[in-house]
Amino acid sequence: MTTASVWPSQEDLGQADALVFFQRGEWDDKRAGELEAFLARGGGVTYIHWALEAGAQASRCAQVIGLSSNSAQTKYRHGELDLDFDRDRHGNHPILRNLSRLHLHDETYWNLSQDPSSLSILASAVEEGVTHPQIWTKEHGKGRIYGNVMGHYAWTFDDPLFRVLLLRGIAWSMHEPVDRFNELATMGVTWK
């Protein structure tokens, strides 16, 4: 495993099976092309929270990863929320196995770029009386993308059910069994 503070190196892009983005970075046609090439060879990509921000390039970013934020248009709210899992459309999706709802204190985004009808929306939240996608998957060539809006607060990553969703999403994006990282879901958790 290696880390990159802004964008993966060419060597990383050529060798990695999965990329996980959490930090906001610049988005341009060069990076879009590099990510599309990574996906074309079957790579898995996970986008978490603020990594979705692509500014004026949000529409181009969304063409690759599914949904993207332009902070000039995206709305957001911090606070308690319920993630509802779309069991009617995706009840058999392995990422959602045995999950129906998750209550968190985090941040939702809405008014994101792209038409979510081209995606598999796994979880949504209600804001301003309307349901908005918060977790999705997308297949792009041989590659797979898992997107998750949650992750504003560090404590969200301490929630074992959130970890299950995130770890399953990463494994799914890699074409691996979703239970591959199960032991990490409860690592360091204090049970009450």
Residue 169 belongs to a domain with what CATH number? 3.40.50.880
Which pLDDT value is given to residue 6? 80
d(CA 23, CA 11): 20
Residue 172 lies inside a defined structural domain of this protein: yes
Domain annotation covers residue 20: yes
Distance CA 183, CA 144 (A): 23
Range of the domain at 105: 10-181
Residue 5, in any domain of the structure:
no
**Structural tokens at position 102:** 């998750």
pLDDT for 137 beyond 60: yes
Is residue 70 included in any domain, yes or no? yes
Find out whether 166 and 123 touch, Cβ atoms under 8 Å.
no
User: Which residues, 6 or more positions from 140, have their beta carbon under 8 angstroms from its beta carbon?
Assistant: 36, 39, 40, 64
- Specify the pLDDT at position 191: 66
Task: For residue 189, tell me if it sits in a domain.
Answer: no
Q: Phi and psi (nearest 5°) for 128?
A: 55, 35
pLDDT average, residue stretch 130-140:
94
In a domain, 188, yes or no: no
User: Is residue 86 predicted with pLDDT exceeding 80?
Assistant: no
pLDDT tier at 91, thresholds 50, 70, 90: low
- Separation of alpha carbons 175 and 144, rounded Å: 8
User: How much is the average pLDDT of 163-168?
Assistant: 95
The pLDDT of residue 182: 86
Could you tell me if residue 131 is inside a domain? yes
Q: Longest C-alpha distance within the chain, in Å?
A: 48
Tell how many helices (H) and how many strands (E) occur in the chain: 6, 7
Residue 36: count of CB within 10 angstroms of its CB: 14
Q: Name the residue among 69, 186, 77, 89 with its Cα closest to residue 137.
A: 89
Asked if residue 3 belongs to a domain, the reply is no
Q: Which residue has the higher pLDDT, 189 or 133?
A: 133
Max mean pLDDT among 10-14, 24-28, 169-173 falls in 169-173
Stretch 100-114: mean pLDDT, rounded?
A: 93
- Please give the tally of structural domains in the chain: 1
- What is the percentage of the chain residues whose pLDDT exceeds 90? 74
